[in-house]
Structure 1
Amino acid sequence: MRHRKLTAALGCTEMRVNTVTLDPGESTAPHAHDRQEEVYVALDGGHVRIDGTKYEVPAGGLVRCGPDAVRSVHNDTADGSQTWLMFGAPPLGTVDDFGEYRMPEE
């Protein structure tokens, strides 16, 4: 998984911007943000899981994740990487951390 933090490079002050590229079989860790809303753009399509429900997202599709929702993105294909653009607001934490990022208890 490749994670690029773009917030500082873009000079953003009111949101955070990242890209995540997943190789086949990879996924991000399920997590939530206490006060941060996120919007994901599936550049190549893929799957997102929100509060335990899995959704297929077509290429160019958008997904909103509300605060407190446990979310993760998945590349369930056997070949080809998938890239997601991720926008978060308000910009909690710093560019070096995820701000109020928490992992759900299993």
Structure 2
Amino acid sequence: MTEDFSIVEPADVPTTRFDTCETAVRKLTEPLGCVELRVNQVIVEPGEVTTPHTHEGQEEVFVALTDGQISIADEIHDVPEGGIVRVDPETVRNLLNRTEETHVWLAFGAPPIGTVDDFGAYVVPDDR
């Protein structure tokens, strides 16, 4: 891999689980060599819900690789395949799946905070 670019096939990166829920994630930041943002592929199976959270100081962009659902400030939004969602750092967000199909997302966070394994400033509101 050169320092100028990298190409990663997400399926080649093993899945892990988020610390706060059972949702599968492929942490792509390190394999891509990213230093200015965090990148994850999130796989949300039917019935799964990721933990509602914010990221102090980190804006997130979600790209729906399939049809998907996201909750932003407790309002659920259906996002079509190819749809893109931006969420500011202080807004509570989480992915969920109330369908019978698997949802696959790419999640980008910038600026990078914490480490690949410990996202740092990951805030779960007290009222959850």
Which range, TM-score by smaller chain?
over 0.9
Q: Using the alignment, how far apart are the partners of 2:71 and 2:46 within structure 1?
A: 16
Alignment partner of 1:87 is 2:84: no
Runs (5+) with no aligned partner, structure 1: none
Structure with greater proportional strand content: 1
Runs (5+) with no aligned partner, structure 2: 1-22
Structure of higher RCO (CA pairs closer than 8 Å, 6+ residues apart): 1
Structure 1, residues 51-72: CA drift from partner, whole Å, max 9, x if none? Answer: 1121110011000010111000
Q: Using the alignment, how far apart are the partners of 1:8 and 1:105 within structure 2?
A: 31
Aligned Cα root-mean-square deviation (Å): 0.8
Q: Using the alignment, how far apart are the partners of 1:99 and 1:5 within structure 2?
A: 15
* Runs ≥4 residues deviating over 4 A: none
Q: Using the alignment, how far apart are the partners of 1:54 and 1:81 within structure 2?
A: 17
Determine what percentage of the aligned residue pairs are the same residue: 52
- Give the aligned partner of residue 85 of structure 2: 63
- Give the aligned partner of residue 42 of structure 2: 20
How many residues were matched structurally? 105
